[in-house]
Each structure stands twice: as structure tokens, then as C-alpha cells.
Structure 1
């Protein structure tokens, strides 16, 4: 799923926004839809593109990718704490 389509580009804060959204989705067991996908390219058919809100998902691990201008990139993996 892509949250940038819902919020726009926050420049320097884009990475932290994506991390927060990822943690919230894991905490509340949902995946937000990627907005504004009206016509899917034929080459993308069959790919796991989230086009509608998905709920009641037992998310245990999420991956947050942030790719910035000029090669400033970060990938974070968050996982539920198992007591």
C-alpha cells in the first residue's frame, strides 16, 4: 500500500510519516488502500496492489520503505512485541 497518495509528499518528514502509518496499521490490524488508482496498467495485473481498505488482518510485521530525493533511502521493519 502507498500512504503518500493519501497525504502528499512531506519532504523531510516523509519517512517518519510512513513509519507512523505502518505502526498504526499494525496496531489496528488494517492496511490502507493506495488512493487514486482508477485504471491499473495491464502489466501490473496480478501484483499485490492494495486498492481497497483491508481490515481484520493479524499483522505481526510491517515494512516501511522511504525513498527520498538524492538517494536518501531507508527501510524499517517493525514487529509486534511477543511477551
Structure 2
């Protein structure tokens, strides 16, 4: 929802993941227009939803195979 920040995108995503965990919310996705076919995926749309889990995954895939995955947990 903030656009692509190139090299800073992974750090921003990690910060948003930590904030979501601290606020115990799941942020909505942007530009979702509906399910395709018979798939029934649980997608958060429009507004945040209260979180029921205590872990968040931040995965970043960059140019030149610069990849990172971070797992954050709360107590």
C-alpha cells in the first residue's frame, strides 16, 4: 500500500510486520477484487482484522537473488 521502495522495501516490510504483531492486527491487502474460481482463501480486505496468532513472517525477494525471510514472534 506504500509503493515499492526498492532497497528499503524489505526493512519497511519487516517494520510493518513487527507493528502488526505489537498491535495484534492483520493488515489488509491492496487492490483485491475477488476470488478466482472455486478457491476459498481467507484474505483480509478493506480494514485490519484482529490477529489470533503470535508470529509474523516477512519475506523479501530482490533483484539479483537478494532474498531474506524473517520470522518474528511475540510472548
**Cα RMSD after superposing both structures:** 1.8
| Correspondence for 2:29 among 29, 34, 51 | 34
* Runs of at least 5 residues in structure 1 that lack an aligned partner in the other structure: 1-5
Normalization by structure 1: what TM-score?
0.76
- How do residues 4-43 of structure 1 correspond to structure 2 at under 5 angstroms? 6-42=1-37
- Structure 1 CA distance for aligned equivalents of residues 49 and 36 of structure 2: 25
> 8 Å contact 1:30–1:53 — kept in the other structure?
no
Provide the aligned length of Structure 1 versus Structure 2: 75
Normalization by structure 2: what TM-score?
0.83
Question: How much does 1:34 deviate?
Answer: 0.6
Question: How much does 1:38 deviate?
Answer: 1.5
- Structure 2 CA distance for aligned equivalents of residues 73 and 41 of structure 1: 29
* Runs of at least 5 residues in structure 2 that lack an aligned partner in the other structure: none
